[in-house]
A = this chain, B = another copy of it.
Amino acid sequence: MSLFGAIEAGGTKFVCAVGTVDGKIEERISIPTRTPEETIPKVIAFFQQHVIEAIGIGSFGPIDVDKKSNTYGNITTTPKTAWKDYPLLQTIKDAFSIPVGFNTDVNVAALGEAILGAAKGVDNCLYITVGTGIGAGAYINGELLQGLTHPEMGHILVRRHPNDAYKGRCPYHADCLEGLAAGPAIEERWGKKAIELSDKEEVWDMEGFYIAQSLMQYILVLSPKKIILGGGVMNQTHVLTYIYKYLQELLNGYLSFEEISTNIKNYIVKPGLGDNAGITGALLLAEKEWEESKASAVQ
């Protein structure tokens, strides 16, 4: 079975792995995200030890995913200044003469979950991560969603909880979803890390209130067949109960599908691949890029 490389480029660490398209990982390392000059040579050194056919990258963003753009494959307007405008794809391509696929971390995780995880066999799913930030990727009719750019679903507007006086911390929109419901917002609002607030019902009620609103919007716009909720904050599994409750209240019977009513626990689920959704999706992206490059070589 052919070996592929996978990079999950995150804001705190780069996870690099070598594995096969059935999701089996042969070897992996985790490299702290410092400057490109410090981090990238270690990434390259790891893959140089292996014979691989292609590499897939799932990157933190925003990134340029437009194949026709001059800056395709760059990280763009990130607040992590060392990485602003960094040509991540081109750098990896220059180091290895093999196909390299490139997409967002969350789109790649959606791909992983769609092919080998909780949405296996479903041609349309949504993967959402709630952690340091909030982001989502969508797999639609077998393709990762992309238009003018990749989705930026974490920044949608939500209505304020009546008991929430916290101002929000998104530098662009203050109290958008990410500004109110990502991990750092929970910590700033309540004065403790999410993990230390496990037993505070009001914390998870409010978190569920915001996440449910975002799911309502995503469902009405995209109509996913499965929704996967990952990320560190979602390790507080009891928040799901509030999400289900508020989502059903908000939709109020408008969509008469069992996925929303009696079967909601099988509709909105945790990742089937656990923390491996992203790295598995990156392996699958590598294989996809490899197949496409073979097909275009034949033409």
Contacts and interface: CB of A to CB of B under 8 A. Distances in A.
A218 B150 CA distance: 12
A257 B222 contact: no
A280 interface: no
Given A145-B140, A159-B157, A173-B250, A222 B77 contact: no
Given A141-B143, A217-B217, 15 more contacts: A145-B223, A146-B223, A147-B222, A148-B224, A148-B225, A148-B255, A148-B257, A151-B220, A152-B220, A155-B254, A156-B216, A156-B220, A157-B213, A173-B254, A222-B222
A243 to B, nearest CB: 15
A148 B227 CA distance: 11
A149 B255 contact: yes
Number of copies: 2
Main secondary structure on chain A at its contact with chain B?
A: loop
Given A147-B225, A225-B148, A250-B157, A256 B220 contact: no
A74 to B, nearest CB: 13
Interface size range of chain A in the complex: 35 or more
A150 B149 CA distance: 22
A253 interface: yes
Given A172-B253, A250-B173, A257-B148, A155 B220 contact: yes
A27 interface: no
Contact of A223 (B147, B158, B159, B172): B147
Contacts of A218: 221
Contacts of A152: 220, 223, 254-255
A155 to B, nearest CB: 5
A12 interface: no
A251 B257 CA distance: 33
A143 B143 CA distance: 11
Contacts of A257: 148-149
Given A124-B147, A149-B255, A173-B254, A221 B224 contact: no
A199 interface: no
User: 8 shortest A-B CB distances, which residue pairs?
Assistant: A147-B223, A172-B254, A124-B147, A152-B220, A148-B223, A221-B221, A172-B252, A156-B217
Contacts of A38: none
